[in-house]
């Protein structure tokens, strides 16, 4: 039997969907037939992307301002999704943040709480609420976007890396909790050329690319194939998995 990346008739929520990897995935989902909810903090950015999707792909697209670290916002996002589009088939927990700090000892409690809230607390709450609703309507797929830092953390992103590694644990546990009814998986991207990369010093990027066996950082479109796989019925027997998208970087020692 063949498999298909066809998403016709599916409703997909993408947090952090207004830019970077979230934006690339949202466009790919719409191109393959899905209706979208674009959720991120800035309402204007969400609406810009939603309008572009409606015009370019003639799909339904709803913009929802959303704070990924706010416990109550998770329920509101899902309520809006069901009210506007009637159901939810796929959730992409993509929103994240990793503010800089001068040293581990200089990390403030405020920074720590923000990073954990956006990268772990909110994704957990949203995934659980979404899975419970998906079970009632026949099942679905949840895609958590992690980071290669979860496996190869550096001193400059340790709270972020710790939170992202928790998404792996969450996927494994939830895959058992919801059995075959809701599939919960993880995408683990490496160094990607999104908006944040514009601030990288040239020497830093060169050093990263030297360490990547494929010799380059990823482009946002490089995540699309794996995202389509996990969102579609092509991954009907995949749950609790972590898919590395890093040009081979995560396999290098040191």
- Compute the distance between CA of residue 212 and CA of residue 178 in angstroms, rounded to an integer: 36
Is 160 a known active-site residue? yes
Beta strands in 111-209 (DSSP E): 140-145, 182-189
Q: How far is CA 13 from CA 37, 84, 126, 208, in A?
A: 5, 12, 11, 32
* Token pair recorded at residue 235: 């991954």
Residues 6+ apart with CB under 8 A from 40: 15, 16, 17, 18, 19, 22, 46, 65, 66, 95
**What is the phi/psi pair of residue 218, to 5°?**
-80, 150
Residues 6+ apart with CB under 8 A from 24: 220, 221, 223, 224
The active-site residue out of 57, 82, 101, 160 is 160
* Token pair recorded at residue 50: 């939603």
* Token pair recorded at residue 86: 């009637």
**What is the phi/psi pair of residue 148, to 5°?**
-60, -20
Using only C-alpha atoms, the chain has a radius of gyration, in whole angstroms, of 17
* Token pair recorded at residue 149: 């830092």
| Active site (catalytic) residues | 160
């Amino acid at each position: 039997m063949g498999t298909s990346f066809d998403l016709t008739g599916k409703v997909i929520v993408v947090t952090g969907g207004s830019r970077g990897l979230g934006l690339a995935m949202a466009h790919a989902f719409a191109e393959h037939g899905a209706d979208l909810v674009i959720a991120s903090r800035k309402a204007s950015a969400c609406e810009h992307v939603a309008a572009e999707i409606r015009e370019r792909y003639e799909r339904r697209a709803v913009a929802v301002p959303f704070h990924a670290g706010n416990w109550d916002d998770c329920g509101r996002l899902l309520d809006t999704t069901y009210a506007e589009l009637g159901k939810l088939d796929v959730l992409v927990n993509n929103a994240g943040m990793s503010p800089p700090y001068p040293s581990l000892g200089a990390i403030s409690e405020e920074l720590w709480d923000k990073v954990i809230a956006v990268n772990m607390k909110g994704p957990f709450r949203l995934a659980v609420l979404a899975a419970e609703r998906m079970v009632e309507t026949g099942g679905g797929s949840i895609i958590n976007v992690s980071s290669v830092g979860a496996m190869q953390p550096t001193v400059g992103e340790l709270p972020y890396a710790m939170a992202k590694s928790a998404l792996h644990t969450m996927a494994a546990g939830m895959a058992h909790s919801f059995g075959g009814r809701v599939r919960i998986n993880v995408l683990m991207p490496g160094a990607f050329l999104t908006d944040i990369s514009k601030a990288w010093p040239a020497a830093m990027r060169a050093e990263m690319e030297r360490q990547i066996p494929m010799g380059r950082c990823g482009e946002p479109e490089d995540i699309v194939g794996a995202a389509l796989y996990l969102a579609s019925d092509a991954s009907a027997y995949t749950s609790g998995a972590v898919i590395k998208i890093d040009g081979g970087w995560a396999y290098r020692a040191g």
